[in-house]
């Protein structure tokens, strides 16, 4: 057992598993002021992380009652199991739930279990089951349905989307203010954030757009494509896709694309895995070969394919494959990166669309934890970090009357650098104007450069408790 910081603020949280994901979650939860304890069989990993974040660490099997007891399970609010084993994660959560009744979150990645998520969550009493590979595949698929986007993220249970794109040279938006742009392209969207030369702006109506600006906007589902059409950027979904690597993320992505009518070709180096994939994905073309072989890629049609997604387990390979594809083809390319230590270096490579499964996992957990800490008046539904975590997009469920409800937005004393992006009222997405009001029962998405908001009332410069 290793030393512990004397800090009782926030929730008491146990994290089982000191791998890359466990480390990322630990870092973020410590930043947000929670009392974190880690468990792992690897003593050196426990010591390194406990020293780095000044937290308690316990060496042992996280599914052992005595180990959980040493970690303080009886006084814990939440246990998060993110070991490499799905079964171990589920067992850790089951034991924690039985002995202390605390909330539990498990990472579960195997396709067999992913089909039974709702059943497992209900029967084992878990607060959440997270499948980062499946979530990464969902994000990749949304981009391939709208390939001129750099990112497409879903909110309001899929009823709204936040879409990021880069303004090309010579586009009609160049030189326009946001006010003039709204008159040109309609009102079913709202520009939330703009990155220019590494600086991020929450823009007002007089903000003038330039070529090369990276723009994030919110629109009701299916309106994003119409917006691109209005501004002269074609955005029909791709017809075919080549995937390199046949792991879990490749399976989840291929299955989604095939359901959408997109032809899929997977190149995988392991013959046994190729045979498995050909049974699991009978409508996909499975090629046994080295996906990093430039001659094989050319032979299989890289130069003419519409989408290319390297999903090997090695970040460097994925990056090199992306750079190669961008050089020899016009394919829409998506790069999956597992390590997040070098995000600045990665962003300078101009890889286009980049997906970080670890961020997806961490954001889902942080959203849940913030919801636990929120007042009974509202709840965090979705949390998404934008532009290298310089901006947060947070979706709140407004449960009851408060000082933000039934007042026109123009009359609310909102923080600067904050936008109310949409109101979801009974499944209808409202892009709000100054006369719109937040009502109990709504979900509301805000975009802000502030961090740590847990309650809808945090959007106000002053709030009463």
| Residues 309, 296 share a domain | yes
Quick: pLDDT tens for 133-181: 999 999 999 999 999 999 998 898 889 999 999 999 999 999 999 988 8
Indicate the angle between helix axes 248-259 and 271-280, nearest 10 degrees. 30
Measured distance CA(433)–CA(447) in Å, rounded: 15
The parent domain of residue 176 ranges over 136-230
Residue 186 is predicted with a pLDDT of: 63
Measured distance CA(323)–CA(58) in Å, rounded: 43
| Residues 21, 109 share a domain | yes
Measured distance CA(164)–CA(218) in Å, rounded: 9
> Domain tally for the chain?
4
Measured distance CA(347)–CA(52) in Å, rounded: 26
Measured distance CA(407)–CA(405) in Å, rounded: 6
Tell me the Cα Rg of the chain. 23
CA distances from 267 to 61, 334, 412, 451 (A): 37, 16, 55, 41
Burial class of 64 by CB neighbour count within 10 A (0 to 12, 13 to 18, 19+): middle
Place of tokens 């936040």: 162
Residue 157 is predicted with a pLDDT of: 86
**Regions of the chain short of the pLDDT cut 50:** 2-8, 464-465
Residue 374 is predicted with a pLDDT of: 64
| Residues 347, 269 share a domain | yes
DSSP character at residue 458: G
Does a structural domain hold residue 1? no
> pTM for the complete prediction?
0.86
Decide which of 301, 330, 355 is a domain's last residue: 355
| Residues 385, 330 share a domain | no
| Residues 449, 376 share a domain | yes
Residue 120 is predicted with a pLDDT of: 87
Residue pair 455/378 in contact by the 8 Å Cβ criterion: yes
Decide which of 106, 130, 154 is a domain's last residue: 130
Residue 298 is predicted with a pLDDT of: 97
CATH of the domain at 284: 3.40.50.720
Q: Provide the b/e sequence for 414-432 (b: ≥16 CB within 10 Å).
A: beeebbbbbbbeeeebebb
Q: Which two tokens stand for residue 136?
A: 């990464």
SS3 404: coil
């Amino acid at each position: 057992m290793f030393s512990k910081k004397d800090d009782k603020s926030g929730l008491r949280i146990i994290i089982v598993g000191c791998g890359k994901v466990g480390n990322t979650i630990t870092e973020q939860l410590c930043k947000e002021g929670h009392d974190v304890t880690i468990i792992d069989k690897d003593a050196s990993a426990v010591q390194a992380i406990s020293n780095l974040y000044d937290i308690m660490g316990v060496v042992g099997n996280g599914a052992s009652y005595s180990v959980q007891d040493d970690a303080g399970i009886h006084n814990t609010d939440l246990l998060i199991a993110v070991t490499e084993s799905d079964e171990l994660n589920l067992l850790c959560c089951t034991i924690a739930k039985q002995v202390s009744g605390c909330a539990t979150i498990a990472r579960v990645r195997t396709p067999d279990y992913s089909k039974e998520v709702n059943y497992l969550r209900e029967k084992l009493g878990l607060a959440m089951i997270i499948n980062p590979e499946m979530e990464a595949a969902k994000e990749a698929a949304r981009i391939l349905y709208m390939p001129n986007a750099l990112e497409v993220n879903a909110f309001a249970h899929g009823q709204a989307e936040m879409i990021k794109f880069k303004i090309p040279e010579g586009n009609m938006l160049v030189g326009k203010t946001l006010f003039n742009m709204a008159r040109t392209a309609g009102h079913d969207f709202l520009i939330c954030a703009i990155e220019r030369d590494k600086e991020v702006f929450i823009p007002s109506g007089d903000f003038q757009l330039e070529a090369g600006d990276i723009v994030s906007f919110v629109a009701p589902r299916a309106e994003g494509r119409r917006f691109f059409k209005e501004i002269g950027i074609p955005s029909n979904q791709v017809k075919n896709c080549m995937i390199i690597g046949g792991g879990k993320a490749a399976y989840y992505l291929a299955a989604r694309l095939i359901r959408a009518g997109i032809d899929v070709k997977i190149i995988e180096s392991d013959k046994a895995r190729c045979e498995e994939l050909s049974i699991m994905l009978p409508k996909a073309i499975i090629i046994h070969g080295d996906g990093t072989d430039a001659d094989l890629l050319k032979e299989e049609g890289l130069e003419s394919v519409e989408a290319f997604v390297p999903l090997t387990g090695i970040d460097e390979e994925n990056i090199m494959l992306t750079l190669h594809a961008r050089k020899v083809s016009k394919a829409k390319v998506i790069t999956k990166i597992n390590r997040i230590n070098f995000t600045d270096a990665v962003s300078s490579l101009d890889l286009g669309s980049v997906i970080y499964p670890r961020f997806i996992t961490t954001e889902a957990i942080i959203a849940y934890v913030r919801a636990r800490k929120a007042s009974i008046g509202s709840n965090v539904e979705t949390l998404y970090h934008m532009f290298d975590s310089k901006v947060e997009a947070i979706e709140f469920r407004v449960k009851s009357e408060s000082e933000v409800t039934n007042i026109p937005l123009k009359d609310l004393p909102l923080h600067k650098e904050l936008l109310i992006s949409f109101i979801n009222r009974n499944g209808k997405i409202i892009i709000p104007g100054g006369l719109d009001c937040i009502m109990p029962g709504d979900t509301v998405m805000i975009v802000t450069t502030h961090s740590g908001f847990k309650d809808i009332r945090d959007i106000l410069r002053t709030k009463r408790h």
